[in-house]
Amino acid sequence: MKTISTHLSYFLKDREVKRNLSILLRYVAVLVAVIAVFTVVFHFIMVYVEGEEHSWITGLYWTLTVMSTLGFGDITFQSDIGRLFSVFVLMSGIVMLLIVLPFAFIRFFYAPWLESQIRNRAPRSLPADASDHVILTSYDPIARGVVRRLERDEIPYVVLEPDPTTAANLQMDGVRVVTGDIDDKETYEAVRADRARFMLANHDDQTNTNITLTVREVAPEVPVAALVGHENSQDILELSGATQVLPIKRWLGEQLATRITAEYGEVHPIGQYRDLRFAELPVQHTSLEHQTIREARIREQTGATVVGLWERGSLQPVRPNTSLAPTSVLVVTGTTEQLRALNRMVVSDDTHTEPVVVIGGGRVGGAAVQALHKRGVPVHLVEQKRARCKVLRPYCAEVFCGDAAEYALLEEAGIETAPSVLLTTHDDAINIHLASYCRRLNSEMRVVSRITHERNLEAIHRAGADFVLSYATLGIDAVYAALRGRRLVVLGEGVDLFTRAVPPSLAGTTLAGSQIGEQTGLNVVALEHNDTFKTDLGGDTPLSSDRHLVLIGSDDQMETFVDRYE
């Protein structure tokens, strides 16, 4: 516990505090001078106008009584001059004592003192025995999601925050934080970086380079993952010592591009967990339309397993009698050969050769356009900035420079016949508007969009978007995959892949008897044992303690699983 003298010593060292105290003391000096002048004038009027003699203590007493509005007591003026002077002293006291003095005291002393108390509460280091922890260099939306998962999995962590006040507030919110400059070697010594499990540099490219170089002086071996915005910075960060560089914006564009429907009946790979591969299959214009899962016989014919069903932004579990609508998108898992067999099974002569429309040519849109170009998918780009139009023109069949809200421009870009539209602007309101607009112009097209804020997820799905993904969600998934040392699997916004050892409370039960789906909403997609996966699960599939569950669902559902079963 720090003593008052320690707090005061730290408080008085601050330059701004010294300046504030100087201003406050000058005002107090002016106030004392005014009181002294009023005391002298009181004596002058009393002697030469009222004809009375009073002591100097009495004059000071009268001045303070009047200025503080406590009343005139037993000493009053009888003359008009004396009473006018009393009114002047009274008004001066109201302003100087009752208004300015409290404000000045609070503004220049009390508020800084409270802020100093808060700043003092921010930790400056981790305990000397801290080890195997994760270091996050900023508490941004990605870090918030990562912290939530770390707490769920009981992995220790610390967030670095340069501002002590912000750090203290984060600590009061339950975040484990240490304050210190992120470009100072002593900060990383204080958080025991040399014994950390993993570190994330999640600032801009220049700051991340500085962070990486600094931490390498203290911890040459710690794994460092760095977010990167510009492609040109990737090599610089790797040369600076970053173990992994995560170009989230480029990956976001590429992930959105994989969800584009360019040819009906095409299986889109979306990720891999060890030998278990995941893919999506839009049902529209395939032989699967209007069939049930049992009638489709996907597992019998290909070996692949249907583990979920996207229906306008909602991932739903599947049952044998689940009906496949034209808007449905199947989530399937299997080996590479099984997924190829599925692709051959659903391939149709009724392929769509119309270009895909991409609205927005920023870093995310540019990455999507280039990814589609590599797949041989023709693209019509709609972009306002001519410079970006010029850069991306080689990757597009045609480029339309202008406002996507103009019907004539979208019509010229082929929106009414396009199989898919991809919305990549960084403004959620614009993307919601365009999703609704494009859905109205072409009710059968697949609408894929990015969002910035999770709160807009429901709104953009209501507007007509079929698939949505945000920068923060992809960043959280990418960072956690890097931390866990596994490949990135992106199932969709608010949905992730989890692996958990079968809890003792479920060992010996069956999959149906565990009621995992009913109690948590999670979907068990496979059982892992000795690096092999069992995907043909039924209600009578036994659960044993030497196996791992492979599940898909949301973070909230996973937390429910942990609370209920672990």
What pLDDT does residue 118 have?
A: 66
Taking the C-alpha atoms of residue 528 and residue 507, their distance in angstroms, rounded to an integer, is: 14
∠ at Cα 433 (431, 255), nearest 5°?
A: 25
Q: How confident is the model at residue 425 (pLDDT cuts 50, 70, 90)?
A: very high
Q: What is the pTM of this model?
A: 0.77
Q: How confident is the model at residue 97 (pLDDT cuts 50, 70, 90)?
A: confident
Q: Are 382 and 393 in contact (CB under 8 A)?
A: no
Listed range (307-321, 397-411, 503-517) with the worst mean pLDDT: 307-321
What pLDDT does residue 350 have?
A: 57
Condensed to tens digits (0 to 9), the pLDDT of residues 32-60 reads 999 999 999 998 998 888 888 888 998 89
Condensed to tens digits (0 to 9), the pLDDT of residues 312-371 reads 777 888 888 989 988 888 999 888 888 888 888 887 655 557 899 999 999 999 999 999
Residue 297 pLDDT exceeds 70: yes
What pLDDT does residue 535 have?
A: 84
Q: Are 435 and 460 in contact (CB under 8 A)?
A: yes
What pLDDT does residue 186 have?
A: 95
Condensed to tens digits (0 to 9), the pLDDT of residues 466-490 reads 899 999 999 999 999 999 888 888 8
Residue 2 pLDDT exceeds 60: no
State the DSSP code for 111.
Answer: H
Listed range (8-22, 90-104, 429-443) with the worst mean pLDDT: 8-22
Residue 4 pLDDT exceeds 60: no
Chain position carrying tokens 């939306």: 141
Higher pLDDT: 502 or 260? It is 502
Higher pLDDT: 124 or 11? It is 124
What pLDDT does residue 264 have?
A: 57
What pLDDT does residue 126 have?
A: 93
Higher pLDDT: 267 or 285? It is 267
DSSP, residue by residue, 401-469: ES-TT-HHHHHHHTTTT-SEEEE--S-HHHHHHHHHHHHHH-TTSEEEEEES-GGGHHHHHHHT-SEEE
Taking the C-alpha atoms of residue 428 and residue 471, their distance in angstroms, rounded to an integer, is: 12
Helix (H, G, I), strand (E, B) or coil at 327: coil
pLDDT, average across residues 551-556: 87
Q: How confident is the model at residue 1 (pLDDT cuts 50, 70, 90)?
A: very low
Condensed to tens digits (0 to 9), the pLDDT of residues 76-86 reads 888 889 889 98
Higher pLDDT: 136 or 110? It is 136
What pLDDT does residue 205 have?
A: 95
Helix (H, G, I), strand (E, B) or coil at 135: strand
Higher pLDDT: 335 or 244? It is 244
For the beta carbon of residue 74, count every other beta carbon within 10 angstroms: 8
Listed range (108-117, 178-187, 296-305, 377-386) with the worst mean pLDDT: 108-117
**Average pLDDT along the chain:** 88
Higher pLDDT: 120 or 239? It is 239
Residue 71 pLDDT exceeds 80: no
What pLDDT does residue 440 have?
A: 92
Condensed to tens digits (0 to 9), the pLDDT of residues 138-179 reads 999 999 999 999 998 899 999 999 988 889 889 889 999 999
